[in-house]
Structure formats: structure tokens, C-alpha cells
Amino acid sequence: MTALPYLDSPTLHSLLSWPVAVQALADALRAGLDPAKSMARSVLRAGAGELLLMPAESPEAVGVKILGIAPENPTAGLPRIQGLYLLLDAATLTPKMLIDGAALTSLRTPAVSALAISRLAAPDAAVLTVFGTGPQAAAHVHAIGSIRALSAVRIIGRDPDRTLGLVDALRAAGVPAGIGTAHSLRDSDIVLCATTASTPLFHGDQLPARACVVAIGSHQSTLRELDDDVFRRASTVVVEDKATALREAGDVIMAVAAGALAAQDLLGLAEILDESGVPGISVFKSVGMGWQDLAVAQAAQTAWAAASTPGGAH
């Protein structure tokens, strides 16, 4: 076997803009991809942490993401999450490409959120409040900024130094960012929750009447970032796949158990592709699914192939 092309983080991000990644996800759903038929993730105890395996297939390709999640790595100066994505041809299962797994996650997760926000948030939504200071929080600001003209971005974090560090980095990139507080919610058009919290980050009654709320913090049934009141007030609640959300999304599972949300009222992401802003409070709860990695990986392979041809940019 010849050496596989490898896309590291800078290369991946140079090949795919946020709008292109968002469009790749929308195109996959419009082409008939059914998230309900996606292969389930596997989480295995291994070494100093966990192995996360996320396979997926499409008519053209098969892929699997393998991530190592080592909670103690940050104290050793190493990333908490590391791994690879292997892309194969569907007809022959011949390996075609390797991609930095953490970089792929940092691209596709904000792209999924941006896709949902582009359909749920008011077209003139301009004020964003972000809970979280990690890589996903930062990436989400840029992804959301690609689909809405943001006039203000408020960052809320537990660690003052990390919060200020993210604000400074965003300002250096031209983003109108500042440090936020719980009062920031009162006039927020979009609220992003990108934390490892196990209990709600704010009270649902703090939300304005047209807020679009996105929670991406976990895929565990026992963790939540949103309280029951968020779901009681929401007119629209969207998930990637209903069955997956009722199995993995703690925010949804607990709200249903409390009677704050009816399971039959959940909408799948594919059901809102033709929306352009919905009335009232909307919620998108994401747990991340393998089909999303595959859709973005295929788009990256296409862009890499185009850039690698004579006269291309790669």
C-alpha cells in the first residue's frame, strides 16, 4: 500500500471554510442520508482514559474516527483529545486518506451547530453569548460568525485567565468579543453552551423570547447544560436524531423525564433544512454523530484532490 495522504489541522482548515463544511452537512442530509441509520459510537476504557470509535458510511465512502481521551493530559502539556480519522472507499474498503481526528471534530462540530443556527436563529441575530473557553467555544464563534453578522460576542467561563485569553484571541482576530455575565443572556440572540458541565449553566427564565440556544457539551445521559425551564419555554427543539438524543443527550433525557419536553415533539436536523428563523425560543442539542465526520471528511478529500491537481492551490 502506498503512503496515505495525511491532512493535519492547518491543512484541513485551509481546505475547508466554514460555509463549505456547513454546506457539506446540509448536502448529505438533502441527499437522503438518514441519521437514524447511522452506526453507533463505541466508548471503551483503555489505558489512561477512553477510546472513542465513530464509524459511518455513505454510498461513496466509509470512515472511522478513533480518538483517545485522556483526562489528565492537560496537566502533562498534551491535548486531552488526540486521534485519527481513516477514510476508505466504499466499494473496495481501500484506505484513501488519514485526517487529524481532533481537528476534524473541531471543524465538523461547529459546522453542525452553524447549520442548525442558520435555520433556527432570526436572520438578524447579532448578539452571541458563549459558555465555555475551550477550543470548541473558540471555533464555534468563528463558525457562527460565518452565517450571522455578529455585533457582540460575550464569553462566560469559570477560569478568569482562560476567559480573558479567549476574549483577547478573538479580538485579535477581529471579533467584537468581551467578558460576559449571566445578565448577558437578557439580550442575547444566540446562546452557545460548550462546556463539560454536569448541571445547568443558567436558568431558562433568563432567556429572551427569541433566543436560539445550542448545547454541544456532552454525549452522556447523566450530564446537562440546560435546565428544564429552557425546554418548557422552547417552541422548537431540534436534535440530530431523535433516538440517539433520547439515548445520549442528558439535557433532553432529563427534560423528558421531568415532563418539560415531550419526546414526540423533537425534530430531527433534516426536518428544518428549509427553515429560515423560527418564532420563539429554539434549542439545538447536539451529541455528535459519525455521519457528520464522514460528510466533512469527504468534502476535505474532494478539496484536497482538486488542490493537488496540476494548477491547483495545494
**pTM above 0.85?**
yes
The pLDDT of residue 311 is 62
Kind of pairing between the strands at 81-89 and 95-100: antiparallel
For the stretch 184-198, pLDDT in tens is: 899 999 999 999 899
Placement of cell 467555544 in the chain: 137
Cα distance between residue 213 and residue 285, in whole Å: 8
The per-residue pLDDT for range 247-280, each reduced to its tens digit, is 999 999 999 999 999 999 999 999 999 999 999 9
Cβ neighbors of 86 (< 8 A, separation 6 or more) are 63, 64, 66, 95, 97, 98
Query: Residue 219 in contact with residue 42, Cβ under 8 Å?
Result: no
Residue range 91-109, pLDDT digits in tens:
999 999 999 999 999 999 9
20-29, 34-43, 110-119, 267-276: the lowest-pLDDT one: 34-43
Helix (H, G, I), strand (E, B) or coil at 285: strand
Looking at the chain, the whole-number percentage of residues with pLDDT higher than 90 is: 83
Q: Please count the other Cβ atoms lying within 10 Å of the Cβ belonging to residue 20.
A: 16
Q: In 184-269, which residue ranges form alpha helices assigned H by DSSP?
A: 228-233, 242-248, 250-257
The pLDDT value given to residue 314: 47
Alpha-carbon distance values, 31 to 18, 25, 35, 273, 286 (Å): 20, 10, 12, 12, 21
Cβ-proximal residues to 87 (8 Å cutoff; 6+ apart), any chain: 61, 62, 63, 95, 96, 97, 98, 99, 294, 297, 298, 301
Q: Nearest 5°: phi and psi at 276?
A: -145, 70
**Average pLDDT of the residues in 15-41:** 93
Q: Contact 58/46 with Cβ under 8 angstroms?
A: no
Q: Which of 29-43, 44-58, 71-85 is predicted least confidently?
A: 71-85
Q: What is the mean pLDDT of residues 143-150?
A: 97
CA dist 292 and 21 (Å) reads 10
Structure confidence by residue, pLDDT tens digits, 219-240:
888 899 999 999 999 999 999 9
Check whether 211 has a pLDDT greater than 90.
Answer: yes
Predicted local distance difference test score (pLDDT) of residue 1: 62
- Cβ-in-10-Å burial (0-12, 13-18, 19+) of 48 comes to exposed
Report how far residue 12's alpha carbon sits from residue 139's, in angstroms, rounded to the nearest whole number: 14
Give the pLDDT mean for 115-138: 96
pLDDT for the residue 169? 97
Confidence check: pLDDT of 310 > 80: no
Which of 64-68, 75-79, 126-130, 272-276 is the least confident region? 75-79
**Residue ranges of domains in the chain, CATH in brackets:** 6-105+291-308 (3.30.1780.10), 109-289 (3.40.50.720)
pLDDT value at position 41?
86
Q: 301 is written with which cell numbers?
A: 478529500
Question: Tell me, what's the pLDDT at 218?
Answer: 82
pLDDT tops 90 at residue 75: no
Instruction: For residue 40, give the DSSP letter.
Output: P
The angle at the Cα of 233, spanning 136 to 267, to the nearest 5 degrees, equals 65
**CA dihedral of 254, 234, 149, 165, whole degrees rounded to 10:** -30
